[in-house]
Structure formats: C-alpha cells, structure tokens
Amino acid sequence: MHGLEWVVEAYRCQAGALADKTRVCRLLNRMITDLDLHPVGEPVWHQFPGAGGITGLCLLAESHWACHTYPEHGSLTLNLFCCRPRPDWDFETYLAEYFGAEQVSIRKLERHYGDRS
C-alpha cells in the first residue's frame, strides 16, 4: 500500500473569508470532486463564537480531510491523508481564490506500508 499525506498551511489570508463556513465547505467539495475522494459520512463542523475560526473534519474511504482556520492570525491549516495514490492538487490557486492566501506552504509525505525490502 502506498499513501500520500498533504500538510498545508496558508498565510496572510482574509480574516472574513476564514470565518465563512460556506467557503470552507466549497474548498472541501472542490477537493472531493477534483481528487475523486469518497466521504463515508457528512463532514463535522465547529465554528468558534463571534468571528472565530472553523474546524472541519471529513472521514474518507481513503482516510481523512481536516481543516482549521484562524481569522485572528490570517491563517488556515489543512491535512489530507489518502491511502492510495492521488495526483498533486493546486492548493496555492484555490487557497488564494477562496481565502486570499498570499503564501502557501505544502508538505507532501509519502507513506509506504508493508514490506519495503
């Protein structure tokens, strides 16, 4: 088995966009479509009070998607783990479009399971 995990951080985002659950849902839905992901249930969301951030979790047949927004810091963190290969995704473009991100850091971790000899 071969898995991929992306750890993504977006900086200098628009605070209002980071507090907008609709935008975070759009991001999840876009990734589901583009990467052919398969949710095993409805996503779970929590929005902190006031203009607070959003935490979202979606369990996938492939593993999971998790996102946390921090309007007070202008940042967003995202984790996507897939237990089967996926193509790279254009995180920079979509995070800039949906949240105004000016800088995006992407770490892609390849996970190998089983006999590696």
Give the whole-angstrom CA distance, residue 67 versus residue 76. 7
Q: Is 13 a catalytic residue?
A: no
End-to-end CA distance of the chain: 14
* CATH class of domain segment(s) 17-112: alpha beta
User: Model-level pTM?
Assistant: 0.89
- What are the pLDDT digits (tens) for 56-76? 999 999 899 999 999 999 999
pLDDT of residue 35: 94
Residues of the chain with pLDDT under 70: 1, 113-117
Give pLDDT, residue 116.
Answer: 57
What's the confidence (pLDDT) of residue 8?
98
Rounded Cα distance between 5 and 80, Å, is 6
From 68, 82, 112, 117, active-site residue: 68
> Does the annotation count 63 as an active-site position?
yes
Confidence at residue 84, expressed as pLDDT on a 0 to 100 scale: 80
* Domain extent listing, the chain: 17-112
> Catalytic residue among 58, 73, 82, 83, which?
83
**Residue 114: predicted pLDDT:** 67
Q: List the catalytic residue out of 46, 63, 73, 112.
A: 63
Strand (E) or helix (H) holding 97: helix 91-99
